[in-house]
């Protein structure tokens, strides 16, 4: 019995001695706290990588603006569902859609309008430096007959974007949203009006 007790005490003592050494080893594995300068450099690196990804999407004309806000008349901001409020550009084709939840069902089935067409005079300005916004402009030619509308899209490094759509017969529509590629987009296209 005494022998068993000694063995038991030896095991406990050995365990007690190895635990601090294991803790010391684990502290080396834990990430150290970043300094303010290191956090700033990391954010800048991530921002530049994001800008490069967004820049390629805009250059190649393969992106979706998923809108989460629409600006109505008199500057009223309306939060909207980004799955049904979007502008998609694929090559020289464009789809523009908006719909308001809880409103009367529009002609597109999602409470608004869906329009498809083609882009003329697409221009892309990447900005003079990485601190400047990227700007895309173009004219929208609807399928079939119809007047041209114009759009200006201002995009930041993180993909945040502001769209101004000048409608052909006067007025404008403004949307605030985020640029994503087609693979990561979750938009739902309603019935096309024109």
Nearest Cα to Cα of residue 180 among 98, 117, 86 = 86
* In-domain check, residue 21: no
- Alpha-carbon distance of 133 to 159, in angstroms, equals 10
Reported pTM:
0.73
Q: Is residue 190 part of a domain?
A: no
Provide the CB-side half-sphere exposure for 67 (13 A, CA). Answer: 26
The range of the structural domain enclosing residue 114 comes to 36-184
In a domain, 151, yes or no: yes
Residue 27: its H or E element: helix 2-29
What is the pairing mode between strands 77-79 and 93-99? unpaired
Q: pLDDT digits over 88-114, tens only?
A: 999 999 988 888 776 555 666 676 778
CB within 8 Å of 42: residues ≥ 6 apart:
34
**Does residue 67 belong to any structural domain of this protein?**
yes
Question: pLDDT tens digit string along 168-177?
Answer: 778 888 999 9
In a domain, 26, yes or no: no
Please give the tally of structural domains in the chain.
1
Residue 163's domain is classified under what CATH number? 2.40.128.410
Q: Which residues pair with 150 in a beta bridge?
A: 139, 166
The Cα–Cα gap between 54 and 9 comes to: 64
pLDDT tens-digit series, residues 40-82: 888 888 888 888 999 999 999 999 999 999 987 777 888 888 8
């Amino acid at each position: 019995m005494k022998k068993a007790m000694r063995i038991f005490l030896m095991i406990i003592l050995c365990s007690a001695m190895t635990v601090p050494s294991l803790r010391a080893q684990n502290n080396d594995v834990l990430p150290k706290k970043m300094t303010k300068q290191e956090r700033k450099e990391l954010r800048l690196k991530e921002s530049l990588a994001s800008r490069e990804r967004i820049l390629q999407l805009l250059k190649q004309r393969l992106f979706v603006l998923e809108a989460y806000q629409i600006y109505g008349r008199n500057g009223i901001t309306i939060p909207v569902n980004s799955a049904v409020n979007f502008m998609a550009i694929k090559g020289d084709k464009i789809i523009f859609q908006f719909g308001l939840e809880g409103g009367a069902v529009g002609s597109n089935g999602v409470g608004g309008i869906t329009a498809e067409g083609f882009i003329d005079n697409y221009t892309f300005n990447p900005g003079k430096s990485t601190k400047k916004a990227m700007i895309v402009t173009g004219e929208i030619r609807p399928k079939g007959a119809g007047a041209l509308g114009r759009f200006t899209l201002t995009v930041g490094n993180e993909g945040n974007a502001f769209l101004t759509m000048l409608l052909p017969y006067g007025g404008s529509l403004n949307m605030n949203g985020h640029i994503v590629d087609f693979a990561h987009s979750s938009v739902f296209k309603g019935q096309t009006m024109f």
